[in-house]
Structure 1
Amino acid sequence: MAKYIGPKTKIARKFGEKIFGKDKYFDRKKYIYNQHGSYHRRGKKSGYALQLLEKQKLKYIYGVLERQCRRMFKKALSMKKNTGEVFLQLFESRLDNVVYRLGISLSRSGARQLVLHGHITVNQNKVNIPSYLLKPGDIVEIRKKSQNNPNIQHVLNSHNSSGQIVDWLVWDQEKMRGTFKSLPEREKIPENINERIIVEWYSKYK
């Protein structure tokens, strides 16, 4: 699956969830979805179909391709821990995702662009690879020459004022940098993803 650049609401409606964040469609329709999205209510689907749809949802949420997803699964499988939890932790450790979680960008796609264009440093070194995996203790910072960028300033002032930063990250507004404190525990990851059935899919069809 190539990276999707079409209308995000169209994809969000497919899963019955605000998988890309705020979406006026769901607010307007007063849409109510169940634990795993609307596609679980449209007639009986096979286990294969449910696993495939859940995998596609994960890929859309984090903006990754199939090759990247498989690589993450193999890495998670090689660790002596819960594969599903490690699988999601790896996605949450991606630099573009952390930039988004810190509130430097309002979307993961926007965060990816900031990284690609060299606006972000890790431990004071410029990193322009969105898939770069952070380790506990790493410091993510907006480059000095980018800190006065009006677009970045607008996002920081509007987003961080709401205090919506997750527990495993710390943001220093004055220094415009964040710290990746630790790998997140599964119950603290807010994304509505059933990683167990994705692991089952990759285990059978890898």
Structure 2
Amino acid sequence: MGKYIGPKSKIARKFGEAIYGADKVLEKRNYPPGQHGLARKRKKVSEYGTQLSEKQKAKYTYGLLEKQFSRTYEQAARMGGITGENLLKLLECRLDNVVYRLGIAPTRAAARQLVSHCHICVNGSVVNIPSYSLRAGDVVSVREKSKSLEVISASLAGSSKSRYAWLEWDNASMSGRFLQKPEREEIPENIKEQLIVELYSK
């Protein structure tokens, strides 16, 4: 499957949730897209369909393709503890996600682009891999040459940097510290990770 580049409102309507942030289209038409959107809402979804939908929602939310998501799940399964929680923790440790969480970018897609275009540093060195996994104590900062970028300034001006307990933000240096992997209750995404585990366990 290639990268999805179509309307994001369509995906949000499919899941009935604003997974990409505030969405006026979703507010007006809170039912699945397509000619039979309203009719489909009444159909009973199978157990497999519910599990698959939850996995797809997680993939779209964090911007991963099937192979990337499967690899992340396998890594989570190898770790000790609850697999579903491990999966979400690993997704939250991704560099593109942390750039978004810190408020440097308005969306995860924008964060991924900033990382890919070498605007972000980790511990003082430029990292251009969006899937780069951060460790406790890592410092994520905006590259010196990129601090005047309008997209970054606008995003920082409109965001609240103190929302997440596992991150620390310093406005003066335009850098944030990844303190630790978040606990499940600290992750705000509405994802039923147990359904994803059940799907992969079949």
In the superposition, the TM-score normalised over structure 1's length comes to: 0.89
* Matched letter for residue 175 of structure 2: R
Query: Aligned pair 1:52/2:52, yes or no?
Result: yes
Contact 1:63 1:109 in 2 (8 A): yes
Q: Which residue of 2 aligns with 1:9?
A: 9
Does 2:109 match 1:94?
Answer: no
Could you tell me which residue of structure 2 aligns to residue 81 of structure 1?
81
How much does 1:27 deviate?
3.6
What percentage of residue pairs aligned between the two structures are identical?
Answer: 54
Higher relative contact order (CA 8 A, sep 6+): 1
Aligned to 1:35: none
- Please give the TM-score of this superposition, normalised by the length of structure 2: 0.91
- How far apart are residue 42 of structure 1 and its match? 3.5
Which residue identity lines up with residue 149 of structure 1 in the other structure?
L
C-alpha displacement at 1:41, in angstroms?
5.8
Return the letter of the residue paired with 1:169: L
- In structure 2, distance between residues paired with 1:142 and 1:136: 18
The SS at the match of 1:159 is coil
Residues 141-168 of structure 1: CA deviation (Å, up to 9, x unaligned): 00011111222112111224xx563111
**What letter matches 1:175 in structure 2?**
S
Aligned pairs for 1:1-206 within 5 A? 1-28=1-28, 31=30, 42-160=42-160, 163=161, 165-204=163-202
CA contact (8 A) 2:162 2:169 kept: no
User: Which stretch shows the higher mean deviation, 143-152 or 102-111?
Assistant: 143-152
Q: Once the 2 structures are TM-superposed, how far is the Cα of residue 25 of structure 1 from its aligned partner?
A: 2.1
Consecutive unaligned residues in structure 2, runs of 5 or more: 32-37
CA distance in 2, matches of 1:51, 1:94: 24
Measured after TM superposition, the shift of residue 203 of structure 1 is: 1.8
Letter in structure 1 aligned against 2:77: L
Which SS does the other structure have where 2:91 is aligned? helix
